[in-house]
Structure 1
């Protein structure tokens, strides 16, 4: 075990060599630094050293720096060998959150860097802006504005960064096409337009109705339709345009919501283009990550999303399917596919060879015989998949019932449950024997109680009951996860779980159409369904999720002996 793995489970303060620190895999959310502030930091570290530890996380045999880039760079520049660090195991989302919070609290983070950091969080949280707001303790409006600004062109964003225009200008320019943004930006700067004046001008802008995605029949008689007036003057070749942008945007947003719902059945998560940076998404397909990975992993992964363009203009409504927004997983999958085959050799142990010689009448020189021909085998590639939380929770409910059905007939389980329930109420209780968990956490107490013999357990029940006369406590617990964790103590839990799983309307509804397709292929349902007429199942998947599910449930297919891999994976 290397030095890093020893701190993986417990946050630790320690001095770390600068040579053991590497940048975070997805970089620092701050791209600009105030030179004056940095010089003050240099002088401070030169005089007093690094007072505030940097934040790092274990990474292979090194550490990735999450927060404290300024202190790290200054220490490197000054030639220091070590730096105080707080080592903590963090997920990518947690690391980015810590980094953003660090920069926000220490000094003003560049507004565009802040927006891009929020955009990165949007990818981690699958576009759930409310979750981002809750995590950062921000108003939802602030999160929405930060993401909205990134609809601007790079030139507009740079103008905000340099102070040539304000955030208010950018928010007004954001919904428009790239061409219109560019032309207006030049005028805003050269003519020094105020936000109020830009708002007034923007309200008088027009959008070609030919580019509208919503039904424009109602627009034919609308007074804000330029074609209604042009016809009076014989301008028949005039292109109809809407001059009431607020109405155009409202109808566009209504169309987008309907379109997102349609795409959600097929792909699960639907995000707007500006919610995920170009560098944080990749088109994923079988040639890129391999047939097995794509069909058994990516097709059911909640990180495979569809993006829809909501920018007004010709790109409005454009969809980008099969977009992976998990940079790290994508990179691992691509790398795994490109790895060469590994030659594996089956080796016999020295003991087994000696045993074979002793037990046979082979000549003495037989011991020099050459070993058997090595066997070549392809390394099994891990199928990465971030399963939808809805699917996970549905599977957990089924497994909880499996656990209960296997354990309830056991008197010992009932005694252990009684003891755990009593221990939950007992504050400061010390068990009679050391084998029992000293913690009051329900799940751990139940697990340790299950390992005791009945006599010892009954003595503990009597003792904790006596203890309850004076103190009480409460603890949050998750019965579902607790019951699933106990499956490992049962006989043949996997077989029992598979026997319990059956496709229902509730279960299938949690999957996307592609996810249902994977279930049907792996279970053999597609082969059985197409046995009557080849290609019928493929046609069925185009008719919408409700009809697909209804047909599957009505078809006489024997699902026994099958359960989804993500269902089985929950059994620890």
Structure 2
């Protein structure tokens, strides 16, 4: 058949079957029984309705009617001419026509409609109203079909082949793709009914009432069962999330968010699970298990003081504050408070004072946070080095003690040689004998400098306890080198800051203003504290002393 198809008008004619090539048919599954019935109809009545074609080079591409072309080819062979409506169409126009033509015919699967609708929607740049208009569909139908695009290829194939029903597919579309194929296999192998699948899904779904996160974003989510009620005939009703992994992840993220916020206030915050209650207890100042008011204040600067967030289903997100994570220490402090009370009660009447009971031992924190330890070590190292530089006699004694304990091997030899060269103003001797003679020949003041330099060189390699011992041995006064500052306070939580303020007596100086500021942001609290009229010199918190 020879015609000029330069116009956009429909042309009715006949085309040899061997001149026809397949197009982008939205149908991917052809029911063998239906196809056989069509072949019998063509034998008896011929082609009643022409197929739709478009010219592509010297061939004609099928736009609509592939089942008829296949059936005619089986019945009549490739040389037979089939009635056809031929029209010049772009790729987009051909796909739109193919979809509309096929959707009004019997037996096009819902998955085929869904895939084609998705392609048209993409070409319409997400405009659903335009997509529905082109497909001559209602908006609810378009939304329902698009929802099926969440099915895996395996589930779509099973639906096309009628291995499962639309009800099965709708229920599978409500869960994540990772779970669809395993569920499909069970449905097929065990021949599970739609009702059974629905009941099973309901049991595994998560109720939104168990959410501790903001569920506003879940309103339009496809895993929200309320959304599913408007999409599918088969659904589990309202109030559920069918993606438990996502739900649990959001809850976990919320717990971590709360934990991060609480870490501004407390040194330690833990999310507790089953069995964790044995690892902590509530810290109290008064009562039978109280540690006393002074000790309670000191405990706030301890690394074992903090809060818990429940990770248990029944109490998810519940916060408990003023918690001690070192029960051995807590029991010891309670015992000390009880002992102090007994001593007070058995003292002669004239010595008794009607005041808050003070512990017999000095209130203290059992542990310091890692951040404070690191900062404190930096300060200690700096002070110890400066003191060693000023105390050569004690430097010799300290170095000797390190040598006796086998701890001098950490010193960098090359560094010592550089120090010698700087102090002696001469290269370090090549042999040990020459070195001994050279050092002994130095003036006493330079020998003192070498002794101090050797001690200084050891500091960075010492353990925390060794640096602490060195500071105490040197009688180093931290107050001469350091005082409370913003860098230090920024490392503390609000509970630790409160403890430090009470310890140094600043709370009394600030009065009610301190309590008001304590309830605000930490940055503002620090500014207020450092801006208060207070004698900071000598006010060294216990956590910083040697």
TM-score where L is the length of structure 1: 0.45
In our comparison, the structure showing a higher alpha carbon Rg is 2
TM-score by length of 2: 0.47
